[in-house]
Amino acid sequence: MNRKISIIFIIGVVLLYLCFLGAAPLFDRDEGYYISVAINMLDKHSLFIPYYNNSIWLEKPVLLYWMMQATTAILGESVFAFRLPIACCGILMITSMYFLLNTILKDRKNSFIITATAAFMPLFVYISRSAMIDTPLTFFIALSLLFFFIATEKDKLNDRKWYYFSWLFLGLSFFAKGPVGPAIVLPSMFVYLILQRDFWRVFKRANIPVGVIIFCLTNFWYFVAFWKLGDVFWNKFFVEQVFDRGATSLVGWTAIFTHFSAFYIIVILLTTVPFVGAIVAGFLLSFKGGFKPREQMFDKLAIFASIFTIITLFVFSFSATKLPHYVLPVYPFLAILVGYFWSNVKSSLNVPYKKTFWTLFSAPVLLLSIAGVLVPILSYVLWGSIEGILSKGTHANEYTLPNTLPISSIVIFSLAIIGIVTLIAFIRAYKKKAVDKMITISIISGFCYSFAFAVIFIVINSWLQNPALEMAKELRVNINNNSKVVEVGIAKPSLYYYIGIDYMEPDSEVIDRKKSIKGLLYLSAENISNNKQPLYILTRNGDAIKYDHKNLFVIKKYPPYLIIGNKVAKETWQ
């Protein structure tokens, strides 16, 4: 790999992961939750116990909050500072992968192909530009598995140090998101060792007692939290967030996918464009040796990646709560399968699964191209109907759709342009049997798709959030220490950050259950204990929410949101 390509790649990664990182507002609910918790921990001087809305909040371990607190201590509180440590984890994973893969394969070109593929997978880029824990989790899991592989297959004479590094990053994966890391890493290691007929040798060499000590020391927070909270910690973290999340969908809209076991396969097919064909072909090629032990290093690495992919998909597919980013840890290993496929193509143009490759390469690209044309057009034509349908109902929504679409949404057309150019360029390279050009085209296309999705996210999220941000900005200058704030019909944790508060009253304070019926919420201030305090109800327009005009008044509208308040709030509003 020459110096010029390296410089271009580094610039591309930095631009893609860091440029305009704070341009899009926080999205709900996840970013809003995590940032509010990080701020609350600082305000309450609570280093180990996270809080949200004045209650203990144990959805995630504290590692994410500590990372965000570290960057905000240096840069100050801003959306950019909150997202920066996550983006840095993405960049660190890409950098680490290249050096570790080069250690394994002793082939800079193949290592670069894999690394560039991992760097430019659209979903990985999107999550790495968000204040979420999944990118650090993916980083830790990738390093744990790669260190394990080096110890097992590459450096057997000095394997102990590599196993210790593997234990360390396995521990960090547990610190990042609980048991999910070990739940997919350890079975993958076990199955691979059984396949390679190497289990007992590694079992003896891995120095498990020392590894367990490293793992426990890395996860000291769990011991501190249990010491401070006792059964509360066990019930709120392990029972509610681990066991219940696996048995019951804890995210409302994902309930429709609870029994849909192919959900994550479809997610991968739609979010790894333009690498889908090479992923599937590489996956199939990795099994060409059946269940016999592999001899060649790249064959070993490929089957290891396939085993990890299968086990991860199996574990998450049978979890009731399903979100697209849960499966993110497999993406670096999907990139390994891409590199494996191209390595086979370069050694023989008659490689199997060419039809599979072409079908799965072209179909998602064509699908995105068609969507890039139809989605903006149909949205503009049918917007009134769509907005009307989605604004109905009384359940709390993260987003209520604005009345009009932004002109900037035409950026979605870029998906069609990228797809058409990719197909034309790739077909021309294929006819000339120019394998290196095909690889280059797919990597550049991946960068373009990732960049387009990053821009689309900024445009769409800004459009969705700007009315709420305007509402929060004005509310921030009007509330005082005696004010009460309530959310009804919306669920936007990001408002805590933008308003500058750490507590909202429960909506039961203002919902009249006697007058509320199915499909309708009736709001009243009659039951408020102290109506001399300003009361601000943040809600949304629509027929599903009514209010008592005797004691509640519309203070201001921010379509599709509005602020309703009592008489004191209305009189003091500036």
The rounded distance, in Å, linking the Cα atoms of 569 and 444 is 55
213 assigned to some structural domain:
yes
Pull the structure tokens for residue 464.
Answer: 């969705």
Q: What is the mean pLDDT of each run of 10 residues along the chain (574 residues)?
A: 83 95 93 96 95 93 97 96 98 97 95 97 97 98 98 84 97 96 97 96 93 98 96 90 65 55 89 95 93 94 98 89 92 98 85 85 92 87 67 64 77 94 94 92 97 94 93 95 91 95 90 79 76 89 79 91 92 87
Kindly report the number of other CB atoms within 10 A of residue 401's CB atom.
20
558 assigned to some structural domain:
yes
Q: What is the pTM of this model?
A: 0.94
Which residues have a Cβ under 8 Å from the Cβ of 262 and sit 6 or more positions away? 317
Pull the structure tokens for residue 401.
Answer: 């759709």
391 assigned to some structural domain:
no
The rounded distance, in Å, linking the Cα atoms of 323 and 251 is 8
Of 242, 265, 288, the position where a domain reaches its end is: 265
Length of the chain: 574
Q: For residue 522, what are the β-bridge partners?
A: 546
Of 200, 232, 265, the position where a domain reaches its end is: 265
**CB 128 within 8 Å of CB 83:** no
The count of structural domains within the chain is 2
458 assigned to some structural domain:
no
457 assigned to some structural domain:
no
Range of the domain at 249: 3-265
Which residues have a Cβ under 8 Å from the Cβ of 281 and sit 6 or more positions away? 341, 351, 352, 353, 354, 356, 357, 360
The rounded distance, in Å, linking the Cα atoms of 23 and 37 is 21
Which string of b and e fits 197-209 if b means at least 16 CB within 10 Å? eeeeebeeebeee
pLDDT of residue 100: 97
The C-alpha angle with vertex 325 and arms to 324 and 331, in degrees rounded to 5, equals 110
Of 250, 265, 280, the position where a domain reaches its end is: 265
241 assigned to some structural domain:
yes
- The DSSP result for 466-504, as a single string, is HHHHHHHHHHHHH--TT-EEEE-SB--THHHHHHT-S--
532 assigned to some structural domain:
yes
The rounded distance, in Å, linking the Cα atoms of 368 and 273 is 9
Which residues have a Cβ under 8 Å from the Cβ of 165 and sit 6 or more positions away? 143, 147
- The DSSP result for 409-463, as a single string, is GGGGHHHHHHHHHHHHHHHHHHHTT-HHHHHHHHHHHHHHHHHHHHHHHHHHHHH
Evaluate the CA torsion angle 39, 44, 47, 48 in order and state its sign: negative
37 assigned to some structural domain:
yes
Task: Please give the distance of CA 261 from its chain centroid, rounded to a whole number.
Answer: 20
Phi-psi category of 489—alpha, beta or left, where left has phi over 0 and alpha has psi -120 to 50? left
Compute the chain's Rg from CA coordinates.
26
